[in-house]
Amino acid sequence: MRKGRWSLQSVITIFVCVVVTLSLLITDLLISSRIALQTEKAQAEQARNVARMVAHSPLVIDAMNGKRGEKDIQTFANEMRKVTNVYFIVVMDMNGIRKSHPDSKELGLKFRGGDEGPVLKGKEHQSISKGSLGPSLRSFTPIKDAKGKQIGAVAVGISLANVDKAVAKSRTGIFIGTMFGLLIGVLGAVILARYIKKILLGLEPFAISKLLEERSAMLQSVREGIVAVDQESNITLVNRAALKLFDKAGLKENPVGVNIEEYMSTTRLTDLLKTGKPELDEEQNINGMTILTNRVPVIVGNKVVGAIATFRDKTEMQVLAEQLTGVRTYADTLRAQAHEFMNKLHVILGMVHTGHFEKVAEYISETVDHRNSEIGFVTKKIKDPVFAGFLIGKLSYARESGVELSVSCEQPLAQPAISDVTHELITIVGNLVDNAIKAVTDSPVKKIAVGFEYGDDILTIEIKDTGTGMSEELQNQIFNKGFSTNGENRGLGLYLVSQAVKKLEGELILSSKPGKGTVFTVYIPYEGVGTDNDPGNDC
């Protein structure tokens, strides 16, 4: 955690605790005040009821009229005080002289407190005052005879200390409930904070914010287009490169929130959500623009929750591939020629040492003639300089590998009208020749024949080798992506050949038998530059 920043768990815990504490304290204050008021009212009501009971007692009325002895009032008042658990019961005459009192020494003395005036005038009331027994809550009720004449009054008191004790007792229950609620709130806050942090993978908000900024910067900086969809195939993310490609393909709308099938019908992300199997290096057509895409599912807890596609314009990839192919072909050609000429120099050096100077001249002359005739034949028959250079490189590579490679073409092969065709031809011929060289490595006769023939707008390419051949079972598998008999991380050559033939809308025929070699025949539509579709000008 960074200095000066609290963790999410601490913030949530403190916030919830403060909210719960304030809520419970406010509730406690409101309830406590109300309960205190109700408790005081209940105590006052009890005092009033006891005062009325005493005031209406026949025994008290008769004693105040002189029909009974005044000692009976003291006895009755003390019994009532014990039964009702009040602080005191004082019966007084109209002059305020006590006829009963918890302390018998106070009998015959005037009532203390100064609040008895209203009751001696016939008015029932309550007050708080201090008497001989201390401060108390008092309830006064007049005593009247059968004719309704007031003959005295009753004062019933409840100790204020008892009232406060009753209120405190009520508040204790509320306080316990408040503390228990606060404890539950704190525990809930801790559990909630931990649960939220678990959902956030233990990351703090500032860390999440930083990751989001970094992810956004990363997604927008890459040159590959990126599109993500959720389980319902709705687009959730599109980076800037993807928007540029979509705009180039004529898709102008911002696709976020749109169903991927509605926005781009050629996508396979919806199928990927069902299968959960990644699809790598696949071609996809978007309104006539071809892209090379990788599609992978997003799996959380063994469940597919979405999918992501990354892609680039295949035209850009082809340009890079052509540049790479040209450089690699050039390097292979130089390496093969250097190796070949080194061997020839060794031969020449040996003949010079032995003094066969005439043989040296003859050997050099034959070498130059052979080299000139080979290069001259290819450049004369193959008008596409890129494809011609490629074939010359393959001829040198084959000689270096100890393989006799021959190229035949009766008529010149014009440069293709569409430059992309050159790249596909290099892919097709290059991979088939490389496979043929590997196939004849262990054969007693190491020969490969490459033939070109053109007619009726169809270019026929035949590549024949004297290798070991293939079984029918092997023939059914060699065009599968990743399948190879040469070890792991191979198996792309013939797959690329099949894809290139498919792109050119051509046809590939394989003929092979174990021990009798292999023949690949490719038929593709072909239009040369300036040929006007006249087969007489082409091979």
Q: Classify residue 259 as exposed, middle or buried by CB count within 10 Å of its CB (0-12, 13-18, 19+).
A: middle
Closest CA to 141 of 190, 179, 91: 91
How many CB atoms are closer than 10 A to CB 485? 11
Backbone torsions φ then ψ of 87, nearest 5 degrees: -75, -45
Q: What is the CATH number of domain 222-313?
A: 3.30.450.20
Residue type present at position 100: S
291's tokens: 């892209």
pLDDT of residue 257: 83
Helices (H), 109-221: 117-120, 160-199, 205-221
Domain boundaries, the chain: 11-166, 222-313, 356-537
Contact 137, 44 (CB under 8 A): yes
Contact 153, 140 (CB under 8 A): yes
Tell me the helices (H) and strands (E) count for the chain, helix number first.
Answer: 15, 14
Q: Which residues contact 369 (CB under 8 A, 6 or more apart)?
A: none
pLDDT of residue 532: 46
Residue type present at position 383: K
Host H or E run for residue 424: helix 420-439
β pairing state of 404-409 and 447-455:
parallel
Write the DSSP symbol of residue 487: -
First to last CA, the chain: 75
The C-alpha torsion from 93 through 98 and 101 to 107, rounded to 10°, is -140
d(C-alpha 530, C-alpha 527), whole Å = 9
Place of tokens 């082409």: 538
Asked whether the domain spanning 222-313 has the same topology as the one spanning 11-166, the reply is yes
Q: Strand, coil or helix: what is 246?
A: helix
Radius of gyration of the chain (CA): 55
Q: Which residues contact 474 (CB under 8 A, 6 or more apart)?
A: 485
In CATH, the architecture of 356-537 is 2-Layer Sandwich (3.30)
Host H or E run for residue 282: strand 279-286
Contact 104, 74 (CB under 8 A): yes
- Please state the pTM of the whole predicted model: 0.42
d(C-alpha 155, C-alpha 536), whole Å = 140
How many CB atoms are closer than 10 A to CB 206? 12
| pLDDT means over runs of 10, the chain (539 residues) | 61 77 75 73 86 90 87 89 88 90 86 85 86 78 89 87 69 74 79 77 70 71 82 85 81 81 82 85 78 85 85 66 52 58 65 68 59 69 82 80 86 82 86 88 89 86 90 82 59 78 90 88 86 47
Q: Which residues contact 303 (CB under 8 A, 6 or more apart)?
A: none
pLDDT of residue 336: 56
Host H or E run for residue 354: helix 314-354
Contact 100, 180 (CB under 8 A): no
Q: Name the CATH code of domain 11-166 (choices 3.30.450.20, 3.60.20.10, 3.30.390.10, 2.30.30.30).
A: 3.30.450.20
